[in-house]
């Protein structure tokens, strides 16, 4: 089944940031067959056509770091740095059940899709397959798993290793054939995991052929803790343990020196940059321009609604640019094009999914977002890119497609009853 999306302003998200002002896409099933000027559409097509009325089409946005299961408690603690904030949350988050996790994942996935996010890397402590099952029901793509921790180093919670390994294997068996779900094995952080656990998780990840995910170098105090225990800074500690390679996804990476940036560049590891979370928790500003100049893949992440309060890659793009400029006093430190790359193509590279998603190009899967953008002077490539980063939000989104199928259309989810799910959540939790 072929479908033509015509009369569109297409932002392809390719390395040249190509924009096609009177463009069209030809979709065959779940993939893009052709993209280009509408006047150049191949002749003799047996395809249905959809007139987009000049709306803007962009690649689906990619969230490289989230904690969907924590979404029930948005706003529970909005103050304090990382460690004070985590200590305040611990009595509540350590008591969350798998059912709490599932309802939270629904809230997170609904919000992400409404914000044009078609793929998310989600991190849990228990229930490695929960986010993927929820995301698949909605039609969204996911890279899911659990982050192992060492009880001797964590102030709350139960041990979750090797249970996380068994949960992940089971989830892979159940869901990896749906074309939407991929999985990883992860460890919480160098300060919450012993070297032995970090090594065991990475070896297990390599053994079953999945990525390895970890929070690292997020907070200045973390540097002090890891250095006191192991005589090395966090990135060097991971390198020493053999944990850094192309299949490693590192969340945060705020506190890096030049040597550590070089270590990451030579390792091939990707970085999930969470500017709003890092700002809210007083963690600092990651050296994103320096990382990207050295060829490190950098994507954008929202983190959780506890450390961010909303799940919008539009906001992350804007904050990523502004935080670099305000701290460097350089108005060119990061640009709107840079931010769009991180939200799409680079995010796909971080997750190891760049062969299939992240840009609108022939042969890739049809993950895309259709937006209603308006400018008093008319749409041009420069104005569209500017609006996407500095002005756009969920109010602009008209349709979200994953694998060529509309999962969100004109304010409604097409595969699931959002109101019914949210009603169940309200009835269950009320004013607790």
Q: What's residue 280's pLDDT?
A: 97
Q: What's residue 54's pLDDT?
A: 97
Q: What's residue 77's pLDDT?
A: 85
* DSSP state, residue 34: E
Residue 303 preceded by cis peptide, ω within 30: no
CA-to-CA distance for 187 and 64, rounded, in angstroms?
16
Q: Are the CB atoms for 117 and 311 separated by under 8 Å?
A: yes
Beta strand 270-273 with 298-300: parallel, antiparallel or unpaired? parallel
Q: How far is CA 262 from the centre of its chain?
A: 24
The pLDDT profile of the chain, 432 residues, written as one tens digit per residue, is 799 999 999 999 999 999 999 999 999 999 999 999 999 998 778 779 999 999 999 999 999 999 999 999 998 888 888 888 888 888 888 888 999 999 999 999 999 999 999 999 999 999 999 999 999 999 999 999 999 999 877 655 677 999 999 999 999 999 878 999 999 999 999 999 999 999 999 999 999 999 999 999 999 999 999 999 999 999 999 999 999 999 999 999 999 999 999 999 999 999 999 999 999 999 999 999 999 999 999 999 999 999 999 999 999 999 999 999 999 999 999 999 999 999 999 999 999 999 999 999 999 999 999 999 999 999 999 999 999 999 999 999 999 999 999 999 999 999 999 999 999 999 999 865
Contacts 24+ apart (CB under 8 A), 331-334: 333/289, 334/288, 334/289
CA-to-CA distance for 276 and 323, rounded, in angstroms?
9
Please list the alpha-helical segments (H only) found in 274-395: 275-280, 288-293, 313-328, 336-343, 345-350, 381-390
Q: Closest Cα to residue 254, out of 335, 189, 161?
A: 189
Q: What's residue 155's pLDDT?
A: 56
Q: Among positive and negative, which fits the CA dihedral 5, 8, 13, 15? A: positive
Name 382's Cβ contacts closer than 8 Å, sequence gap at least 6. none
Q: What is the pTM of this model?
A: 0.97
């Amino acid at each position: 089944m072929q479908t033509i999306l015509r009369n569109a302003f297409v932002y392809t998200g390719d390395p040249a940031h190509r924009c096609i002002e009177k463009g069209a896409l030809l979709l065959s099933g779940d993939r893009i067959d052709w993209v280009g000027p509408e006047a150049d559409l191949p002749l003799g097509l047996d395809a249905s056509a959809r007139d987009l009325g000049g709306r803007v089409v962009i690649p689906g946005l990619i969230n490289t770091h989230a904690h969907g299961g924590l979404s029930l408690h948005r706003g529970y603690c909005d103050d304090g740095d990382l460690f004070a904030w985590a200590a305040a949350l611990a009595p509540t988050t350590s008591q969350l059940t798998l059912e709490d996790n599932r309802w939270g994942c629904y809230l997170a996935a609904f919000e992400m899709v409404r914000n044009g996010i078609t793929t998310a890397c989600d991190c849990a402590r228990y229930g490695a397959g929960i986010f993927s099952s929820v995301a698949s029901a909605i039609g969204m793509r996911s890279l899911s798993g659990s982050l192992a921790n060492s009880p001797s180093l964590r102030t709350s919670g139960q041990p979750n290793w090797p249970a996380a390994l068994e949960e992940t294997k089971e989830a892979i068996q159940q869901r990896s054939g749906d074309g939407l779900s991929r999985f990883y094995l992860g460890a919480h952080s160098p300060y919450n995991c012993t070297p032995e656990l970090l090594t065991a998780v990475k070896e297990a990840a390599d053994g079953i052929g999945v990525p390895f995910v970890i929070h690292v170098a997020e907070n200045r105090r973390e540097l002090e803790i890891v250095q006191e225990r192991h005589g090395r800074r966090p990135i060097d500690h991971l390198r020493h343990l053999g944990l850094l390679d192309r299949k490693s996804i590192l969340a945060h990476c705020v506190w890096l020196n030049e040597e550590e940036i070089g270590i990451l560049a030579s390792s091939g590891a990707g970085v999930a940059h969470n500017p709003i979370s890092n700002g809210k928790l007083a963690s600092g500003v990651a050296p994103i321009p320096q990382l990207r100049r050295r060829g490190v893949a950098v994507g954008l992440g929202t983190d959780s609604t506890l450390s961010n309060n909303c799940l919008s890659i539009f906001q992350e793009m804007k904050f990523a640019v502004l935080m670099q400029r305000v701290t460097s006093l350089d108005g060119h430190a990061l640009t709107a094009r840079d931010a769009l790359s991180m939200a799409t193509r680079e995010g796909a590279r971080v997750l190891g999914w760049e062969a299939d998603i992240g840009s609108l190009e022939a042969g890739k899967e049809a993950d895309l977002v259709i937006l209603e953008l308006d400018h008093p002077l008319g749409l041009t490539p420069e104005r569209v890119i500017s609006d996407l980063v500095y002005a756009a939000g969920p109010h602009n989104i008209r349709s979200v497609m994953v694998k060529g199928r509309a999962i969100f259309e004109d304010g409604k989810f097409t595969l699931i009853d959002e109101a019914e799910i949210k009603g169940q959540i309200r009835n269950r939790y009320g004013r607790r």
